[in-house]
A and B are shown apart, each in its own frame.
Chain A
Amino acid sequence: MSLGQRVSSDHQLARLLQIGVVLEEVVESRAAHHLESLPPDERAAVDEAVRELLVEATEESADHRERLEALIDDLDAETVAYEEINALVDAQYGPPEDTDGVLYDQLANEETAYKFYDDLIEAVEASDAEYAIDRDRLLETLYEIREEEKEGVEDVTEIMEYRV
């Protein structure tokens, strides 16, 4: 058991980045599933803002995934293919009851991703280990992604407030 919250090796860093990729793939896949799972009448009722939010979420996750994959590549590690994660999401997926349920799930996605990157940044900053990839490049990428996740949380919250 390791009590210190720090990333002390390339191996551990690669593993955490792999988890980041999986989280992004889960977001991407769940957002796509939400859109498909709504019955046709509900689908028509999903207003444009929610639809746009889900489409943007899938695009943003795909972009984050690619940026993380570039770092993982340079650490000589591999990632789990989207199709595999999509199949796992599919196997366990239970569609939310309504649009509010979709929004809550999307909020949980964004908040979780934000928390993950925030903890990861803290753990990298707490370590003085030298990684095979440039530390500044690593942190810069993580800061940017964390910022976008924060904006994602704000976007969902805004729509939720607007719908009340």
Chain B
Amino acid sequence: MNTADQYLKAIYLAQRIEEGPASTGTLADLLEVSPASVNEMIGKLEDRGLVEHEKYKGASLTNEGLERAHDALQTYCIIERFLTNVLEVEEFREEARTLESVIDDTVADRLDTIIDRPEECPDCFDPEADCCERLEAETRAN
């Protein structure tokens, strides 16, 4: 997943957490980068028509940005579920975060052929828990 897609995913999750535009501070925390880096990237994404930015309020995804963020989050969900269900990784959240930049969506699509993912994915992703609600329930049950 490239950097732009990771940002779009973070904006999507921040918008859900904040129930409104994503603030620079929340994005910097989620992405573990500086606020200056966030602002620079937001500007680039705005130029590409993927994000709208309102001063003092924050960033919101356009329809095109939302579509890409959805795909990126789905890729992330596949990685988390694959790590848990196939490789039986307990620290799957941490590992998914370190792997997502190296795993392309086409690769995730192939991994998806051997996991059982809910149809409503990625809507069941819980931004606070940083994983799919269902996956969290499954791992707690085991």
Interface residues of A (CB under 8 A from B): 1-5, 7-8, 12, 15-16, 18-19, 22-23, 26, 30, 80, 84-85, 88-89, 91-93, 108-109, 111-112, 115-116, 119-120, 123
In the bound assembly, the distance between CA atoms of A51 and B99 in angstroms comes to: 35
What's the least CB distance linking B111 to chain A, in Å?
7
Task: Judge whether A80 and B86 touch: CB under 8 Å.
Answer: yes
From A22, A112, A115, B86 is in contact (CB under 8 Å) with A22
A2 and B101 contact, Cβ closer than 8 Å, known pairs A88-B114, A115-B106: yes
Residue of A nearest to B2 (CB): A5
Known: A1-B10, A22-B87. 4 other contacts (CB 8 A): A23-B107, A26-B113, A88-B114, A92-B115
Interface-facing stretch out of B17-25, B28-36, B60-68: B28-36
User: Cβ of B103 < 8 Å from any Cβ of A?
Assistant: yes
CB-CB under 8 A from A109, the residues of chain B are 110
In the complex, are the beta carbons of A3 and B33 less than 8 A apart?
Answer: yes
Measured CA separation A88–B114 after assembly (Å): 5
Closest B residue to A4 using CB positions: B101
Question: Is B31 in contact with A3, judged by CB distance below 8 angstroms?
Answer: yes
Which B residue sits closest to A87, measured CB to CB?
Answer: B114
A80 to B87, Cβ gap below 8 A?
A: yes
Q: For the complex, is B102 an interface residue (Cβ under 8 Å from A)?
A: yes
Residue count of chain B within 8 Å CB distance of chain A: 29
Q: For residue A1, which residues in chain B have a CB less than 8 angstroms away from its CB?
A: 6, 10, 30-32, 97, 100
**A23-B110, A26-B113, A85-B114 known; A15+B87 contact, CB < 8 A:** yes
B116: interface (CB < 8 Å):
yes
- The answer to whether A15 and B99 touch (CB under 8 A), given A80-B86, A89-B114, A115-B107, is yes
Cβ-defined contact, A5 with B114, below 8 A:
no
**Complex CA distance for A156 and B30, rounded to whole angstroms:** 42
Is A119 in contact with B102, judged by CB distance below 8 angstroms? Answer: yes
Taking the closest CB of chain B, its distance from the CB of A10, in whole angstroms, is 13
Name the CB-closest residue of A to B29: A1
Please provide the chain B residues from 71 to 94 with a CB less than 8 Å away from any CB of chain A in the complex.
82, 86-87, 89
